[in-house]
Amino acid sequence: MRKVVIHSAGGYEKLKIEEHPSPIAKAGQVKVQVKAAGINYADITVRWGLYESAKKFIGWPITPGFEFSGVVLESHDDKFKVGDKVFGITLFGGYASEIVIPAHQLYHLPASMNFSQAAGFPAVFMTAYHALFQNIVVRPEMTVLIHSAAGGVGSSLVQLAKVFGMKVVGVVGSTHKVDIVRKLGADEVIDKSGQDLWAKAKEICPAGFDVILDANGVETLGDSYKHLRPTGKLICYGFHTMMPKTGGRINWFKLALNWLKTPRFNPLDMTTSNKSVVTFNLSFLFDRMDLLGEAMDKMMPWLEEGKIKVAKVNEYKVEDVGLAHADLESGKTIGKLVLTF
């Protein structure tokens, strides 16, 4: 079998494609021939050596990847048989041509999805579901602002928020992304490449937003908090603007400076303003399969009914994994990126 292996932190050259023995499946496990593996920004952070759960649970060397799709090669569970088309989640190891996975982390491929679409579904939609429905109480009349609304998680958040009848305001960084986010269901789209983000946000929602979802980090966190209404929730699940967009290597001076500039939220002040901040990292939830399983159980019918979908899939051959990381880092991509085997 082939897999992408990172032996130490660094740039794209650290992504090595290696031959390894085929993994062995045991009781309760399923071996899958991987057809596609989802690429997430977290995988890039793993390559830089900054992803805390990768350091805690795996160390070096590591094969990144949280999601995959493929065909069952061997099954030690009654729910799956050889030849079944499946997709699933994994705590790292997804960038591989074969994977062994506990059966409870595996799902049958819906007839409406191909392998690439399925490989791009779990991580972003489970992140979005956890953000919206497992951290706060959502009500249909709420108004939500979603940063990076054309990205993988952002496009998932737009769709899930509309399933629950929320008023959705999406933020994009390029004009060509506006129509894409509108077609996903957003009621309003702010193009910050040509509009003043916060002036437009104030115009759309003068009283402030009920929920703001922000993975930008230092660039927008402070203003996101300011534009919440009383009882509003700021949900933070990433810090992308602290990281480089070109070159594939960490600028440690910029990272340290942005860390110092990142807003600190005082509980006393938060109590007075009646606002909350919620943060999470999905990779630390693999011991909470009750939550992850609930998310998939709720979303599978919506997926099959066409209420939600992977907005756009960009395929890269596994040999082009470095290019895929570079494109995702740039912030110019739309939807999901996947590796194909």
- pLDDT, residue 311, reads 77
Percent of the chain as helix, strand, coil, to the nearest 5: 35, 25, 35
- pLDDT, residue 140, reads 87
191 shares a domain with 141 = yes
**Is residue 334 a part of any domain in this protein?**
yes
Three-state DSSP at 189 gives: strand
154 shares a domain with 269 = yes
Among 228, 256, 279, residue at a domain's last position: 279
202 shares a domain with 72 = no
329 shares a domain with 231 = no
215 shares a domain with 245 = yes
**Is residue 217 a part of any domain in this protein?**
yes
89 shares a domain with 146 = no
Nearest to 98, CA basis, from 63, 124, 122? 63
**Is residue 297 a part of any domain in this protein?**
no
pLDDT tens over the chain, length 341 residues: 999 999 999 999 999 999 999 999 999 999 999 999 999 999 999 999 999 999 999 999 999 999 999 999 999 999 999 999 999 999 999 999 999 999 999 999 998 899 999 999 999 999 999 999 999 999 989 999 999 999 999 999 999 999 999 999 999 999 999 999 999 999 999 999 999 999 999 999 999 999 999 999 999 999 999 999 999 999 999 998 888 888 899 989 989 999 999 999 999 999 999 999 999 999 998 889 899 999 999 999 999 888 999 878 999 999 999 999 999 999 888 889 999 99
319 shares a domain with 268 = no
Among 259, 279, 299, residue at a domain's last position: 279
106 shares a domain with 200 = no
Determine how β-strand 29-39 pairs with β-strand 313-317. Answer: unpaired
- Domain of residue 246 covers 136-279
Nearest to 5, CA basis, from 51, 50, 64? 64
Q: What string of DSSP letters covers 114-135?
A: -HHHHHTSHHHHHHHHHHHHSS
Beta-carbon count within 10 A of 295 CB: 21
CATH no. for residue 65?
3.90.180.10
261 shares a domain with 198 = yes
Quick one: tokens of 244?
A: 């480089």
271 shares a domain with 148 = yes
256 shares a domain with 204 = yes
CATH no. for residue 251?
3.40.50.720
**Is residue 24 a part of any domain in this protein?**
yes
- pLDDT, residue 260, reads 92
**Is residue 261 a part of any domain in this protein?**
yes
257 shares a domain with 225 = yes
- pLDDT, residue 240, reads 87
- Look up the pTM and report it: 0.93
- pLDDT, residue 47, reads 97
**Is residue 20 a part of any domain in this protein?**
yes
**Is residue 299 a part of any domain in this protein?**
no
- Number of domains within the chain: 2
**Is residue 305 a part of any domain in this protein?**
no
